[in-house]
Structure 1
Amino acid sequence: MTAHGASREAMAAARERLDALTDSTSVDAARLADELAAVTALLHREVSLRRVLTDPAQPGDAKAELAGRLLGAQVGGETIDLVSGMVRSRWSQSRDLVDVLEELASIADLTAAQKAGTLDNVEDELFRFGRIVSSNTELRAALTDRAATATAKSELLRSLLGGRAEAVTERLVERLVTKPRGRSLEAGLESLSKLAAARRDRLVAVVTSAVPLSDRQKQRLGAALAKLYGRQMHLNLDVDPEVLGGIQVQVGDEIINGSIADRLEDAKRRMAG
């Protein structure tokens, strides 16, 4: 997420505290993720409480004490320490606290995957699931139906992902689907993919080609993009027969296009001009 002003500093401090916690081998990152997600849901639902905990006129220690009293019987000490530090910070908007908590929950889950050696799988599964959703209107409608219960959506996801995806992928997608908080499903999946890439300090390139790339082609493309951007690059690969030749690469908002179709369009525009 993008934060501004005081919230940016508060977010940076919260991420540092989370990293310090998850660096410890004694901390269960997956449990921490679940607890942070529960706190996120609570503060999203209880607007008045969220405003109290982010009120700059209230002493930070008083807000931390309140958070500790409310959460003490529901979450572990690490979560209380993390949330207490967050409510001591200043926030530009009360909603920013909830947004950052949600992001920290996702990062904690991704850290659990990283420790287990499954982060690459999670990153690929998030991308592939996003592609499935965007190409299947019925599935997207079922997962975003406001009239459907969270239980029904969870059961649908389990039928799709259960035993076929990493546990972290299932948890991340289930939280996104059952607690969207106003975001589109596609935007949420894209955000999760970027967080996964950030765990390895690398960028994400979405590569679309008419036919699947060979391993050698993928290696050469990854190396070329890493040299171009000065960062390691994770390739999310997609096949689209309408790309008549070459490939299309998107990194963030930048598109590098080398397909025949686009070269033809460029030629037509030049001739028309």
Structure 2
Amino acid sequence: MGSATTQARTATAEALASTSGVDLDVARELFAAVGAVSGSAQLSGALSDSSVPPAARAGLVSAVFGSSYRTQTVSLLSSAAQQRWSNAGEFVEGLEELAVQATSVAESADIESELFAFSRTVASNGELELALGGRLGDASAKSALVSKLLGGRTSAGTELIVSSLVGLARGRRVRALLRRAERIVADQRSRIVATVYTAVPLNTDQQTRLQNALSARYGSAITLNTVIDTSVLGGLRVQVADDVIDASVSARLADLRQRIAG
């Protein structure tokens, strides 16, 4: 990712933070705009062309989306288009990130945990992953499948993110898209996601103590995603980004075996 894109993402996130009245309808329109822009090389190229004055790019946004989208949506799209992006592909990804962030703003539910739970479901079901992520198949049909699977079982925000990303996969793996969305939501809410591998479920008191300990270590609020893994045997293995804290019985046994082997 180029430095121009990094700065553009920051500016776009700041624009979202200063925009009032962002709800799920705005988020839904932003995802629809991602589909329109990603589906037109001409449009994505024109909106991300740094040789074109920012005001002209904003004018193009108004011309394309102004008559059918809400004021907040057009304002956010215009803000993104006026930034300097490294290339058209990163501009499209930036819009997609903006749509996920807007959903997080509009939805108070624990989207991170819901996204994680669905990604685990996808990971454990090869047929489902193929149905959602295969290159063949109609995007609207895939989104409809997500709605059938999640309708009434998760928040509206989570359903919107998953169905939209599946419909806009553009050849990307569904699990990777869900993990990215989870990280975007966590970052937007100033949280860190910790994946905990344990042989048995943690009770409420154990979860609270672990969250407090990790929060003190990393200096941020922590979202726990728990994976039941019988190979852990006992204890815990915690992963935060690339940082792994392994206090599992299996790790201690492996270390003991290594010491004995010399």
TM-score, normalised by the number of residues in structure 2: 0.94
8 Å CA contact retained: 2:22, 2:105:
no
Residue in structure 2 matched with residue 78 of structure 1 by the alignment: 72
Residues 130-177 of structure 1 deviation map (CA, whole Å, 9 limit, x = unaligned)? 111111112112211222222332332233211111111111110111
Helix, strand or coil at the partner of 2:223: strand
Residue in structure 2 matched with residue 15 of structure 1 by the alignment: 13
| Partner Cα distance (2:12, 2:115) in 1 | 25
Structure 1: runs of 5 or more not aligned = none
Q: Which residue type is aligned with residue 15 of structure 2?
A: R
Residue in structure 1 matched with residue 188 of structure 2 by the alignment: 199
Helix, strand or coil at the partner of 2:75: helix
Helix, strand or coil at the partner of 1:258: strand
Instruction: Say yes or no: does 1:133 pair with 2:131.
Output: no
| Partner Cα distance (1:76, 1:105) in 2 | 14
Residues 224-254 of structure 1 deviation map (CA, whole Å, 9 limit, x = unaligned)? 1111111111111121112111111000011
| Partner Cα distance (1:193, 1:5) in 2 | 23
8 Å CA contact retained: 2:133, 2:171:
no
Q: Which residue type is aligned with residue 181 of structure 1?
A: R
Structure 2: runs of 5 or more not aligned = none
8 Å CA contact retained: 2:22, 2:72:
no
| Partner Cα distance (1:37, 1:215) in 2 | 36
Residue in structure 2 matched with residue 184 of structure 1 by the alignment: 173
- Find the partner of 1:172 among 161, 167, 190: 161
Q: 1:60 to 1:129 in 2, by over 3 A?
A: same
Q: Decide which moves more: 259-268 or 100-109.
A: 259-268
Residue in structure 2 matched with residue 159 of structure 1 by the alignment: 148
Identity %: 40
- Find the partner of 2:102 among 85, 98, 108: 108
Instruction: Say yes or no: does 1:33 pair with 2:22.
Output: no
| Partner Cα distance (2:140, 2:49) in 1 | 35
Q: Which residue type is aligned with residue 31 of structure 1?
A: D
| Partner Cα distance (2:177, 2:28) in 1 | 18
Deviation at 1:217, TM superposition (A): 0.9
Q: Which residue type is aligned with residue 232 of structure 1?
A: A
Instruction: Say yes or no: does 1:45 pair with 2:39.
Output: yes
Superposition CA RMSD, Å: 1.6
| Partner Cα distance (1:101, 1:155) in 2 | 22
| Partner Cα distance (1:199, 1:88) in 2 | 21
Deviation at 1:106, TM superposition (A): 0.7
Deviation at 1:183, TM superposition (A): 2.3
Residue in structure 2 matched with residue 213 of structure 1 by the alignment: 202
Helix, strand or coil at the partner of 1:204: strand
| Partner Cα distance (2:188, 2:7) in 1 | 20
After TM superposition, list the pairs within 5 Å mapping 1:55-74 onto structure 2.
Answer: 55-74=49-68
TM-score, normalised by the number of residues in structure 1: 0.90
Q: Which residue type is aligned with residue 268 of structure 1?
A: R
8 Å CA contact retained: 2:22, 2:102:
no
| Partner Cα distance (2:213, 2:221) in 1 | 10
Helix, strand or coil at the partner of 1:213: coil
Residue in structure 2 matched with residue 247 of structure 1 by the alignment: 236
Instruction: Say yes or no: does 1:6 pair with 2:18.
Output: no
Helix, strand or coil at the partner of 2:30: helix
Deviation at 1:182, TM superposition (A): 3.2
Q: Decide which moves more: 70-79 or 225-234.
A: 70-79
Q: Decide which moves more: 215-224 or 196-205.
A: 196-205
Deviation at 1:28, TM superposition (A): 4.1
Deviation at 1:88, TM superposition (A): 2.1
| Partner Cα distance (2:40, 2:69) in 1 | 17
Deviation at 1:73, TM superposition (A): 2.1
